[in-house]
Amino acid sequence: MVNIEDLDEVLIVGAGTMGHSIAQVFAQAGLHVELVDISQEKLKHALELIQSNLEILAEFKRVDANQISNILSRIHVSTDLAQAAKNKLYVLEAVSEVPELKEQIFKKFAQYCSDEAILASNTSSLDIFKLVKRIVNLERVIGHHWFAPPHIIPSVEVIPGRKTSQETTELVISLSEKVGKIPIVTKKFTPSYIVNKIQESISASMYELMARGVATAEQIDLAIKTTLGIRLPIVGVVQLHDFTGLDVVQSIQSEKGGSLPIVDNKVEKNHLGVKTGRGFYEYGELTEKEILNKRDRLLLQQLEFLENLTNFRPI
Ligand code: NAD
């Protein structure tokens, strides 16, 4: 059984957009990292990017500038996967999103990694469990999905498959926490997991609106940044509906000829959201007025911050 305290060396395969920055996160947390790629050029570029990422983090006091060389010294780059896989109890593939390539990497994991090693994949859109089921023991396989740029975004998704062992899942949760990330563990596998699934709906609507000439790119971005963009960090997408009122959500759905059993169920129990003190969330003893005041103070802080930051102008 692998102990989180023993996990002080990891292997990251693929040193591209994601891999270089994931390697950096582990190194920042004091772990030793083998970063493997097929391209020497990519590895050289990865180290340059990590150096400049760290300098920006130092500018924002997220990293001690005196520690940059120490952090870099914990990252060893190589093109030799067989050698790099030795003694690693956690390996993560972040190679290009090509199924055959992922299979090929997992065949190498099967060949070179110890039987105890956790075999993680950063794939965004593939069913890694289906893809590698004949290659490795699925008890040790897990989705560990990072968000760009990993050295800044606080969360990671942890996606156990049906056969992933509890031990593997717990270890990946602990490892995520050890490197300062918030692990969000899905209850079951579904393609795109949580964040990309929601992002995909937004993207589909955005492309549809542009294709139909309803709004320009600039109008869509301005509309989103000045509405959802202010609210989302405070209430997310679920609690937002508690503020809308679940009875209202239900009416909108029924006018469209649809229904949402989760919402119908809540409305039946008079769990309408903030106005009845309970919806998807429970608001305890707080009155509606107190909840709204709390939200509004947060929204006003957020608004002031964003106005000062960019005033919603494009980058
Ligand atoms: P990328 O193309 O930037 O990097 C992939 C790297 O893999 C390249 O450096 C390439 O040289 C290397 N590679 C290819 N074949 C290899 C092999 N046989 N052995 C070792 N290295 C090899 O891709 P990326 O954007 O970093 O994406 C990597 C993975 O992360 C994908 O599965 C993707 O779905 C996932 N992901 C990407 C993002 C994102 O925003 N780009 C976000 C989350 C997850």
Q: Is the CB of 131 under 6 A from ligand 1?
A: no
- The residue with tokens 């003694």 is 87
Which pLDDT value is given to residue 235?
98
Q: Which residues contact 189 (CB under 8 A, 6 or more apart)?
A: 127, 129, 143, 159, 160, 161, 162
130 and 265: one domain? no
156 and 247: one domain? no
CATH code at position 288: 1.10.1040
The per-residue pLDDT for range 204-220, each reduced to its tens digit, is: 999 999 999 999 999 99
Note whether residue 113 is domain-resident: yes
CA of 120 to the centre of ligand 1 (A): 14
CA of 19 to the centre of ligand 1 (A): 7
> Mean pLDDT throughout 25-42?
98
The per-residue pLDDT for range 106-133, each reduced to its tens digit, is: 999 999 999 999 999 999 999 999 999 9
Output the average pLDDT for the chain. 97
CATH code at position 98: 3.40.50.720
Nearest to residue 18, comparing CAs of 105, 92, 85? 92
Confidence of residue 68 (pLDDT cuts 50, 70, 90): very high
- Tell which atom from ligand 1 comes closest to the C-alpha of 36: 20
Note whether residue 179 is domain-resident: yes
143 and 253: one domain? no
Determine the Cα–Cα distance for residues 181 and 175; give it in Å rounded to an integer. Answer: 9
Q: Which residues contact 56 (CB under 8 A, 6 or more apart)?
A: none
Residue 59 φ/ψ region, left for φ over 0, alpha for ψ in the -120 to 50 degree band, beta for the rest:
alpha
Which among 11, 13, 18 is the best mutation to test ligand 1's pocket, defined by most ligand atoms within 8 Å of the CB? 18
Note whether residue 203 is domain-resident: no
171 and 245: one domain? no
Nearest to residue 110, comparing CAs of 119, 101, 120, 102? 119
The per-residue pLDDT for range 139-187, each reduced to its tens digit, is: 999 999 999 999 999 999 999 999 999 999 999 999 999 999 999 999 9
Q: Is the CB of 96 under 6 A from ligand 1?
A: yes
- Tell which atom from ligand 1 comes closest to the C-alpha of 79: 20
219 and 177: one domain? no
- Tell which atom from ligand 1 comes closest to the C-alpha of 96: 5
Q: Which domain holds residue 299?
A: 215-309
Determine the Cα–Cα distance for residues 204 and 199; give it in Å rounded to an integer. Answer: 9
Note whether residue 271 is domain-resident: yes
Number of domains in the chain: 2
- The residue with tokens 């795109």 is 192
Which pLDDT value is given to residue 289?
97
CA of 95 to the centre of ligand 1 (A): 3
pLDDT at 241 > cutoff 80: yes
- Tell which atom from ligand 1 comes closest to the C-alpha of 121: 32
Note whether residue 230 is domain-resident: yes
pLDDT at 1 > cutoff 80: no
Which pLDDT value is given to residue 194?
98
